């Protein structure tokens, strides 16, 4: 049984063979970021964001057409994207068929949906009623779960009143047309962007597709398609037709583009003026900074010579050192004079300083020194000079231990909750974003949003100190309940969040939620009072419920409120239907 597509049982063996061929094709993949190339089976590929060829392209064209011509803008965008995808689908099919030596039409077609899935367009589910025959009876009825276009629209704040999987339809029909050598057209009947459960398509020859659609809808009364959705379709003549109406449309389009170009030209002139002003400001700032640096350097030399450890090296040995050096290294001046660097510093410190000297570096910042079981942080400034006609190196070593420790504390305060010791919202978001950046197409993660039930009553009844104590104890129990790669954070107040990377299914997230609820089964004793604490937990799953931190956070928050409404002390998975309600 094929894994990347769903097909009628009669075609399973053929599609299994297609999977092997496509897998072999994509296994020869070589990426070279240094050259900026991605090669798959000897052909150059590029990666593009799906939204750029769907919702964002529609938004750009709407902006060019103006608010009073949104319908014309969408029709133009759809027609252009469909024709582009149709041509790309035919070209990809032709290249793949030639490369893999395919000749049978159905065999050629079978590679299309698998190639479609591997290249990130969508997965494909071909329905039983399909008839992929190379004649007038050709009819392909299929669904595209996880369509990149539909996901892009659903993740945006833009609205649309027609199906949006334009390029999916164009590409798939282009591939099949190349496979069967007959003209083919695909139309999307239902779309998840319009609230339907599936993105459903019908493909047939252009002169019979309307009848195929009507036949299907008559046989499937459970499929509801609005009249305006059926009416909306791509129009090739709009781009390439020779009629008067098409000519007027293209003329209007040229005028709109020219007006848009003039606005861009004005913006460019303003930007050029801003760049010139910025350049002058940068040059002035550089001059000021250079003056400040020269002044700071003179000040440093005076300060270092007065307060910091000063070591003068000639021929790799210490020729002089001031009293501050004795204090820093915990050695007498007699032990320091005449010694080389390896006798004064441990091996790692010595290598670091010697490399800086060889490279003529002027400073080493935040260097860690270990001497007699104590740890210090220093800045080392290297001055290259000539003393007594001999090349000399002056090391001015400034003890910055207190500042370094203070910076570590500040970093801790910036990234961790002071009450519970858990990562705070800023740290949590950074962890989640890093995890998402490292994720592949098939990875699955879970985000849990936890809100403590009735926490206000604890503060009101026992005081804020008791409330803080309760939050601390809850954090301890949560940490003990779930370990491993999971990340727990306190978002603020009585809100917590958990990131569960690399889960196999939503049941893994469910198990973590149940562990957390179980961790609060026993009352928490505070000031000799036993307090029952419970959580309402919302769960969002990547990538189904969102592909970025903001969306996952928002959806897990909505799911949490669903758990609240269900009676608290429980969990709920995010559901777009429940959210709409």
Q: DSSP string covering 489-535, please?
A: EEEETTEEEEEE-S-SSHHHHHHHHHHHHHHTSS-EEETTEEE---E
Cut 0.75: pTM above it = no
DSSP 8-class letter at 129 = T
Contact 131/139 with Cβ under 8 angstroms? yes
Q: What was the pLDDT predicted at 235?
A: 54
Strand duo 309-314 + 390-399: pairing: antiparallel
Q: What is the maximum span of the chain, computed from C-alpha positions, in angstroms? A: 103
**249 belongs to a structural domain:** no
List strands edge to edge, sheet with 535-542.
Answer: 487-492, 495-500, 445-452, 535-542, 570-573
186 with 79, same domain: the answer is yes
DSSP 8-class letter at 234 = -
**252 belongs to a structural domain:** no
Q: What was the pLDDT predicted at 256?
A: 52
Q: Among residues 182, 211, 235, which one ends one of the domains?
A: 235
**421 belongs to a structural domain:** yes
User: Bridge partners of 381?
Assistant: 363, 396
Nearest to 345 by CA among 360, 328, 364: 328
375 with 428, same domain: the answer is no
List strands edge to edge, sheet with 200-204.
Answer: 5-6, 124-126, 140-143, 200-204, 185-190
Q: Which domain holds residue 463?
A: 416-580
**200 belongs to a structural domain:** yes
The pair of three-digit structure tokens given for residue 249, joined into one six-digit string: 């449309």
Instruction: Tally the residues of the chain.
Output: 581
- The 3-state secondary structure of 165-217 reads CHHHHHHHHHHHHHHHCCCCEEEEEECHHHCCCCCEEEEECCCCHHHHHHHHH
The pair of three-digit structure tokens given for residue 374, joined into one six-digit string: 């104590």
389 with 497, same domain: the answer is no
Q: What was the pLDDT predicted at 482?
A: 87
445 with 477, same domain: the answer is yes
342 with 421, same domain: the answer is no
Euclidean distance between CA atoms 555 and 578, whole angstroms = 11
Q: Among residues 212, 235, 258, which one ends one of the domains?
A: 235
* DSSP assignment of 334-355: HHHTT--HHHHS-HHHHHHHHH
Strand duo 495-500 + 524-526: pairing: unpaired
**4 belongs to a structural domain:** no
CATH assignment of the domain containing 518: 3.30.70.270
Q: Among residues 218, 235, 252, which one ends one of the domains?
A: 235
Q: What was the pLDDT predicted at 472?
A: 92
Percent of the chain that is helix, strand, coil (3-state, to 5): 55, 20, 25
Euclidean distance between CA atoms 8 and 176, whole angstroms = 17
Nearest to 418 by CA among 461, 475, 499, 500: 475
356 with 468, same domain: the answer is no
Q: What was the pLDDT predicted at 267?
A: 62
Euclidean distance between CA atoms 379 and 368, whole angstroms = 9
57 with 153, same domain: the answer is yes
390 with 478, same domain: the answer is no
443 with 542, same domain: the answer is yes
**316 belongs to a structural domain:** yes
Classify 567 as helix, strand or coil.
coil
156 with 224, same domain: the answer is yes
**427 belongs to a structural domain:** yes
Q: What was the pLDDT predicted at 204?
A: 94
Name, in order, each residue with C-beta under 8 angstroms of 314's C-beta and a sequence gap of 6 or more: 387, 390, 391, 392, 393
- 249-to-12, 61, 78, 253, 473 alpha-carbon distances in Å: 47, 14, 15, 6, 68
Euclidean distance between CA atoms 487 and 141, whole angstroms = 44
Classify 145 as helix, strand or coil.
coil
Structural domains of the chain, count: 3
Q: What was the pLDDT predicted at 581?
A: 47
Q: What was the pLDDT predicted at 515?
A: 93
CATH assignment of the domain containing 358: 3.30.450.20
352 with 376, same domain: the answer is yes
Q: What was the pLDDT predicted at 558?
A: 95
What is the mean pLDDT, run by run of 10 residues, along the chain of 581 residues?
A: 88 88 88 90 87 88 81 82 90 89 87 87 92 90 92 87 89 92 92 90 92 92 76 54 53 54 64 82 84 59 62 85 80 86 81 82 76 74 77 82 78 87 93 90 90 87 87 91 88 93 92 92 85 92 93 95 92 78 47
Q: Which residue has the tokens 């002058």?
A: 280
Contact 533/462 with Cβ under 8 angstroms? no
Q: What was the pLDDT predicted at 236?
A: 53
171 with 201, same domain: the answer is yes
∠ CA(183), CA(186), CA(187), 5° rounding? 145
**211 belongs to a structural domain:** yes
Q: List the helix and strand counts (H, then E) for the chain.
A: 21, 20
Classify 123 as helix, strand or coil.
coil
* DSSP assignment of 420-484: T-SB-HHHHHHHHHHHHHT--TT--EEEEEEEETTHHHHHHHH-HHHHHHHHHHHHHHHHHH--T
Contact 417/423 with Cβ under 8 angstroms? yes
CATH assignment of the domain containing 225: 3.30.1380.20
**Ramachandran angles phi, psi of 569, nearest 5°:** 50, 50
């Amino acid at each position: 049984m094929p894994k990347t597509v769903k097909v009628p049982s009669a075609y399973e063996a053929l599609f299994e063979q297609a999977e092997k061929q496509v897998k072999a094709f994509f296994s020869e993949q070589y990426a070279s970021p240094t050259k900026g190339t991605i090669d798959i089976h000897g052909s150059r590929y590029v990666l593009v964001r799906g939204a750029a060829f769907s919702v964002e392209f529609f938004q750009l064209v709407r902006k060019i057409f103006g608010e009073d011509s949104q319908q014309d803008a969408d029709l133009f965008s759809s027609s252009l994207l469909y024709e582009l995808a149709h041509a790309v689908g035919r070209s990809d099919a032709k290249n793949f068929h030639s490369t893999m030596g395919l000749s049978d039409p159905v065999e050629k077609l079978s590679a299309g949906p698998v190639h479609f899935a591997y290249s990130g367009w969508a997965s494909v589910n071909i329905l039983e009623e399909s008839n992929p025959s190379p004649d007038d009876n050709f009819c392909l009825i299929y669904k595209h779960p996880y369509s990149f276009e539909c996901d892009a629209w659903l993740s945006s704040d833009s609205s649309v009143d027609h199906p949006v999987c334009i390029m999916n339809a164009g590409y798939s029909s282009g591939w099949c047309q190349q496979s069967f050598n007959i003209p083919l057209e695909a139309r999307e009947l239902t779309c998840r962007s319009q609230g339907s459960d599936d993105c459903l398509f019908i493909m047939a020859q252009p002169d019979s597709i309307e009848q195929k659609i009507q036949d299907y809808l008559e046989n499937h009364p459970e499929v509801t398609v609005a009249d305006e959705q059926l009416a909306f379709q791509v129009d090739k003549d709009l781009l390439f037709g020779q009629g008067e109406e098409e000519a007027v449309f293209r003329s209007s389009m040229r005028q709109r583009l020219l007006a848009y170009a003039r606005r861009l030209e004005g913006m460019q002139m303003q930007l050029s003026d801003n760049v010139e002003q910025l350049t002058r400001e940068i040059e002035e700032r550089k001059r000021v900074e250079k003056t400040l640096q020269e002044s700071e350097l003179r000040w440093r030399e005076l300060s270092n010579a007065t307060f910091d450890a000063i070591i003068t090296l000639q021929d790799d040995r210490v020729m002089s050192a001031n009293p501050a050096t004795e204090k820093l290294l915990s050695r007498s001046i007699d032990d320091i004079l005449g010694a080389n660097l390896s006798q004064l510093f441990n091996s790692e410190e010595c290598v670091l300083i010697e490399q800086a000297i060889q490279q003529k570096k002027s400073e080493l910042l935040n260097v860690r020194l270990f001497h007699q079981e104590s740890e210090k942080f220093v800045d080392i400034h290297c001055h290259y000079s000539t003393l007594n006609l001999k090349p000399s190196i002056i090391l001015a070593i400034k003890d910055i231990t207190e500042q370094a420790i203070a910076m570590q504390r500040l970093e801790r305060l910036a990234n961790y909750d002071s009450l519970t010791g858990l990562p705070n919202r800023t740290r949590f978001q950074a962890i989640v974003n890093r995890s998402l950046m490292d994720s592949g197409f098939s990875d699955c993660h879970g985000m849990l949003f936890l809100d403590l039930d009735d926490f206000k009553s604890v503060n009101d009844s026992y005081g804020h100190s008791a409330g803080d104590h309760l939050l601390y104890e809850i954090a301890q129990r949560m940490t003990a309940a779930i370990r491993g790669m999971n990340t727990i954070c306190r978002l603020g107040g009585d809100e917590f969040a958990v990131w569960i990377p690399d889960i196999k299914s939503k049941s893994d997230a469910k198990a973590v939620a149940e562990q957390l609820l179980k961790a609060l089964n026993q009352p928490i004793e505070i000031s000799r009072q036993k307090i029952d604490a419970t959580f309402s937990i919302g769960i969002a799953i990547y990538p189904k419920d969102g592909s970025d931190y903001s969306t996952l956070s928002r959806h897990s928050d909505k799911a949490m409120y669903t758990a609240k409404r269900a009676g608290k002390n429980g969990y709920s998975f995010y559901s777009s239907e429940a959210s709409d309600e």
